[in-house]
Structures are given as structure tokens and as C-alpha cells.
Structure 1
């Protein structure tokens, strides 16, 4: 991208953002033999991070995505879900994704699985996950929000910023674009 073209939320490229901000964190493309795939209709999304840690229980994911997903500037946030990399059940499906859209969220990153992928592919939201499986999670009202989570060489906290495109996932303590 030429230097005369200002990057924004619609035209950013993570490669260019990282070149200009080398201190940013980069998610590894392969985590213990697993890699992130795009499942939503938006391949490119970014926003302020909200973290949730849950293992095979999407109670907190559902509750968060059913709440206001806008930051103080009216931009959509990104829910980053540490599902422990579990491939045994999905932490996000089409109904919860629709709730996220309805509440203004920009996207969801799941260190785990999703389901209803044909529907997700048609939905106006960014979704990155390790894989898909038809089994839904069990809801036990477990999980924690707004705490530090780590996976793929990333260490993330709520209030940080994440940028996702087909090149990968990068994160920063500060916003990298306007």
C-alpha cells in the first residue's frame, strides 16, 4: 500500500500495519498443529479486544455477544475467546453470531471451534477459529471475562486492539489505524 494512502478499518493490511508497528504481537500461523481459518463473511476486521476464557462452555460467549459490542467511539469490538484450543465442541454458532451482529460487534476470534459454518459464511461479521464441529457446548455458566489470555504467541487483555485479515492476526496495546 502506498504511503500516500491512509489505512482505515476497510483497507488495512496486517503486513503493512506490522511493518509500521514492529512491536505489535503476531499470532503464529500454526499452534500445536492447528491454524486459524476464516468462517464469517468478513475476512478483514479489527477493533478493541474483549477477552473471555472458557473451556467447552459458551455461556459467557453468548452473554457477551448479547450485550453492546460498541466501543466509546461507536466502533465494533472484537471478542477473543480462549477456548483452550478444544476441538470437541463449538463455542459459536449462527444464532450467537446473529446476536453479535445485532449488538454491533465487529468480529469474534475463537481459539477453539465454531459450528453452522455455511450460515456463518453468509453473515456480516468476522469470525476466525481453529475449526468447526457440529457439537454444541454444554452451558454450565462457567468462564471468565476481562482477564489475560494467551495462545499462538499472543498475550491479550481487554482494551488492547486486534487486526485480522487473510494474512493473519496481529495485536497491539494501542490503536494502529484511525
Structure 2
């Protein structure tokens, strides 16, 4: 069995960081190092020159994403030290042909990237006939966030062309092995390695998955299970960053300290202190859901207490969010149940029955609909629109990965401003 190539994509903005990550990846078993498009846009051909200088024996891939001037861009990358140059598969045939001629002249190979191609199989056949060297089955990060996968594209291409096929887009240790089983010749890994706190160990894990793919079929999770699994892995600041600082419910505090919750909203609108509808919502809510209560702005009287919390636990409710007050907090803290509220008071209201369950409400100035996703931890609570839950959960995980690598670089002696090159990237 031929060895499958492991290519590590350096999709960063900072060249010094990229070089360190490349060194660690090669130590872990990477075969090819890619100067990713963000790195090339940030640092230009110097990114390729420095990688070639630092790693003279490595295969350096320049992800130029060429769309025009095929000869010029291939020449630039080749003279800077690239072994392989990437071109967009949907570039005009004239551009492709010129890039191929230039790659032959300068001794490089040409990889055609199928990202966003409408009919990737038909285009791959055309590219093969034109003379490209490698086809990349690539699903971009924004497409990954809404559930598209590079494995599906790889499977569609298998048997349709006779060129080496690279696969890229959101792969990890599990899916890298699956890609090999589906016929990938080159496995391209970006964030899972480059954003790891321990790049060498993460690369070794991918290398092992590629060299010895596990038997069996990769199981697909139920979409709601996958959303929940992703949201539990990340923090509410991660989610807020993924939503461009949207969705936070200001003023809410985790009354039980270090607890975490993620679930779909069951909404309640009630009059201040009227605890009938909040308590009735417990019987309506499915296990794993989060009850979100608009208490009509009242913090002088509580619509929630210990007995309601105990009922939630018995029913399997994941947590409670209250734009208002809670009482019996000592008992609730003993239960370690996720309750988020704006105040604590001893006063209880009356069960008058005003309000509605599962209507759109406002909670801490945010509109929340039944079925929207709620995530909460010690930093606060965020609401995620149901139709974007999978996307935002995936994006939040990418934020967490990025922070993980930055955290490690700070521990090694850097600072946040140095790692982020803040002075360079200040708005001019």
C-alpha cells in the first residue's frame, strides 16, 4: 500500500508563528507544508521564501488560489521556493493552461482546488485532460460550518479521474482515516494541527490515523446531538466571538458557580412573580431543554425556587434562565443545577397563571424563540438562532482551537500582543 501524504496547512497571518508550527508538524510526521492563502495574503512571497529557507528538503505547497495571470503567479511562487502551486479549479481554461505551461517551465506541480465548483466531477475530468497534476477535493471553512463535508466530495470523485486526489476541509483524527479509506492520496489538515497546543502530538495522531485507519464506518451523529456536543465543548465567550459579539444576555449570573448548560429553549412569558407558567413549562419541556423566563422585568419577587428546580432535575431539564429573581438559592446551589438569573430575593409571588409558554419572548433585551439554542456558563448566557446553531457551534470550536494555540505560545514566553502582532494589525 502506498504511503498517503500528510499536508499541513498554515492558515495563519503571522509568519514567525507559522514557521514554529511547521517545524513542530514536521517533527510529528507531516510530509508537506502548505503556505496557506491567509499567510500568503498577509506576508506575500516572503512566506514561501522563509519556509523554503527553514525547511530546504520539505515539499512546500503555495496555496495561491490562482484565478488569473496563471504564468505570473506560478512563476512568483516557484521562484520563491514552492514545490506545488494551487490554482482555483473554476479559473478559465486559458488561465489553467498558462499555469500548467509555467509549472512545467519552472519545475513545479499544479494542484487544482475544487472549492465552490458547481459540478466538481465534470470539472475534475476537464482538469485532468488539461494536464493538472493533483485535484483537491476541498470544502471551504464557511461551507463546513453549515454541514458540507470534503468526504462527500472525495467519494463523488473516486473512480472518476486518474490523478492523485487531495482532500481538505475540517478533517480531524477520525475523518482523516476515513478519507484514506475512501481513496485519498493526500490528506490536508489545517486547524486541527496548526491550532493545537501540542502540534507535534496532534500531527502524530493524524499520522497514525492515516497510516492505520480504523475499521468500521464513521458514525454520523443526530444533528441536535452534534450541536449539543459542540456547544458543551466551548465557552460562551467562544460562542459570542463566533457570532461577532451578538447573542449575549447581559446581567445574568450563574447562581451555582461553575456549571455549564446547552439546550433548546422552552420560552415562558409571565407577570412579575407569577410562578404558574414557569412551573407549568417544566411539564411541557423535553429532557435536555432549557427553560427561559421573561419575568416582566421584576427582581423584587421570584418566580422560581427550590421546588421548581427539583422538579426540573426529576424531568431531565438541562437548566433555567430567568430575566428576574430566584429564591431558595442555598438549596439550589446544593443541587448544582444550572440556574442563571439577575437577582436573588426571598419573596415568592402567586401562581395567577398570566402569560404564555413557547411564544417568542424578550430576555435581557434579546429576542428568543422556542427552539433557539441556549448556552450558559460562568461567563454568562448566549442565545443562538435555531437556524444557525450548527454553524455557530462549529465556528465557536474554531475560536477555541485558535485560543488554545495562542495560550500555549504565551506559556512559552510570549505575550498576547506579540502573538497577535497587534501593532502591525492596528487599523490605519
Name the TM-score class by shorter chain: 0.7 to 0.9
CA distance in structure 1 between the aligned counterparts of 2:314 and 2:364, rounded to whole angstroms: 30
Q: Is the 8 Å Cα contact of residues 114 and 133 (structure 1) preserved in structure 2? A: yes
C-alpha change, 1:145 and 1:8, in structure 2 (3 Å) is: same
Aligned pair partner of 2:330 in 118, 121, 129: 118
Show the counterpart of 1:40: 256
Show the counterpart of 1:144: 356
Q: Is the 8 Å Cα contact of residues 45 and 164 (structure 1) preserved in structure 2? A: yes
C-alpha change, 1:145 and 1:67, in structure 2 (3 Å) is: closer
Show the counterpart of 2:98: none
Tell me how large the CA RMSD over aligned residues is: 2.3
Instruction: Give unpaired runs (5+ residues) of structure 1.
Output: 29-34, 71-75
Show the counterpart of 1:14: 236
User: Residues 39-71 of structure 1: CA distance to partner in whole angstroms, max 9, x if unpaired?
Assistant: 23652111100100001211011111244532x
Shift of 1:113: 0.8
> Which 4+ residue blocks in structure 1 deviate beyond 6 angstroms?
none
C-alpha change, 1:68 and 1:84, in structure 2 (3 Å) is: closer
Secondary structure (helix, strand or coil) at the match of 1:139 reads coil
Question: What are the residue-to-residue correspondences of 1:96-111 with 2, within 5 Å?
Answer: 96-111=308-323
C-alpha change, 1:17 and 1:161, in structure 2 (3 Å) is: same
Instruction: Give unpaired runs (5+ residues) of structure 2.
Output: 1-190, 197-225, 395-428
Shift of 1:106: 0.5
> With structure 2 as the length reference, what TM-score do the two structures score?
0.36
Greater percentage in helix: 2
Show the counterpart of 2:248: 26
Shift of 1:97: 0.3
C-alpha change, 1:23 and 1:87, in structure 2 (3 Å) is: closer
CA distance in structure 1 between the aligned counterparts of 2:285 and 2:375, rounded to whole angstroms: 20
Greater percentage in strand: 1
CA distance in structure 2 between the aligned counterparts of 1:133 and 1:26, rounded to whole angstroms: 24
Alignment of 1:64 onto 2:284:
no
CA distance in structure 2 between the aligned counterparts of 1:41 and 1:94, rounded to whole angstroms: 16
Q: Is the 8 Å Cα contact of residues 263 and 290 (structure 2) preserved in structure 1? A: yes
> With structure 1 as the length reference, what TM-score do the two structures score?
0.82
Shift of 1:173: 1.4
**Which structure has the larger Rg?**
2
The structure showing larger relative contact order (alpha-carbon pairs under 8 Å, at least 6 residues apart) is: 1
Q: Is the 8 Å Cα contact of residues 254 and 380 (structure 2) preserved in structure 1? A: no
Count of residues in correspondence between the two structures = 165
